[in-house]
Amino acid sequence: MKHPWLALAGLGLLGALALLWPVTGRTVLGTVEARVGGGGDRAARAAARVRPGLERDLAASSLRFGAPVFIRIFKAESELEVWVADGARYRLFRRYPVCAWSGALGPKLRQGDGQSPEGFYRVTRGQLNPRSQYHLSFNLGYPNAYDRSHGRTGDFLMVHGSCVSIGCYAMGDDGIEEIYTLVSAALDGGEPAVPVHIFPFRFADRAEAGWRDQPWADFWRNLREGHDAFERSGRPPRIGVAARRYVVTEATAP
């Protein structure tokens, strides 16, 4: 009988990877796809379609294509915001409806719970996936250091196209084309990582008295520290983790 590794060798790199990393409901091979070559045509075609309009709309708001961007997601409102750097502050460029997310308000706890995450994440170049089975996607980087400190498990939690979700944030194909293009341009422009902050709801619209008795109230207060720091400074705060809590340092002007 042929050794299984010899059998894999006959499939070529992509075939072997497909067996070693099976397809899930969230992505095909996750970020591995972006690293094995090919697949960039889809992202390039999307950029060719949406970039002229994005450049025009950014310029109309005195913003620059390729400037650093910051993303906020609000679960209850099913909205994703893209903010673009404008000198000392970031300005809201566009709100996109989230077509689908799964689970309930609160963080993701474990692999297979179908829960879309909440927390503070960062997207680097290696997390972009131009070959997602859901058109285009980027990996949020779950579990982050905070999640790992709480023993939380899961992988390939994405922001992607289409309108189905198993723990991800589905933006529809038109929405993800613009968002992906803005994130990619910011990374190309020198931003080392795009921060993505995910909240259960808009804190300004819900008094704490309405949720202080919820099971995740302490976690949400911790998230609110990052939310409020951005609201005050207009710049994404620096996020650390200590004693199993997020440590938020408000940004100062550059």
* Residues marked as catalytic: 160, 168
Average pLDDT over residues 23-45: 49
Instruction: State pTM to two decimals.
Output: 0.85
Q: Give 47-62 pLDDT, tens digit per residue.
A: 999 999 999 999 999 9
Average pLDDT over residues 240-246: 98
Of 250, 245, 249, nearest in space to 218 by CA: 245
- On whether residue 58 sits in a domain, the answer given is yes
Number of domains in the chain: 1
Give the whole-angstrom CA distance, residue 254 versus residue 240.
Answer: 20
By residue range, what is the domain housing residue 82?
25-199
Of 107, 74, 94, 71, nearest in space to 202 by CA: 74
- On whether residue 210 sits in a domain, the answer given is no
- On whether residue 226 sits in a domain, the answer given is no
pLDDT score for 252: 87
Of 98, 55, 87, nearest in space to 198 by CA: 98
**pLDDT beyond 80 at 27:** no
Q: Report the mean per-residue pLDDT for the chain.
A: 87
**pLDDT beyond 90 at 18:** no
Give the whole-angstrom CA distance, residue 13 versus residue 92.
Answer: 42
- Retrieve residue 152's tokens: 């939380």
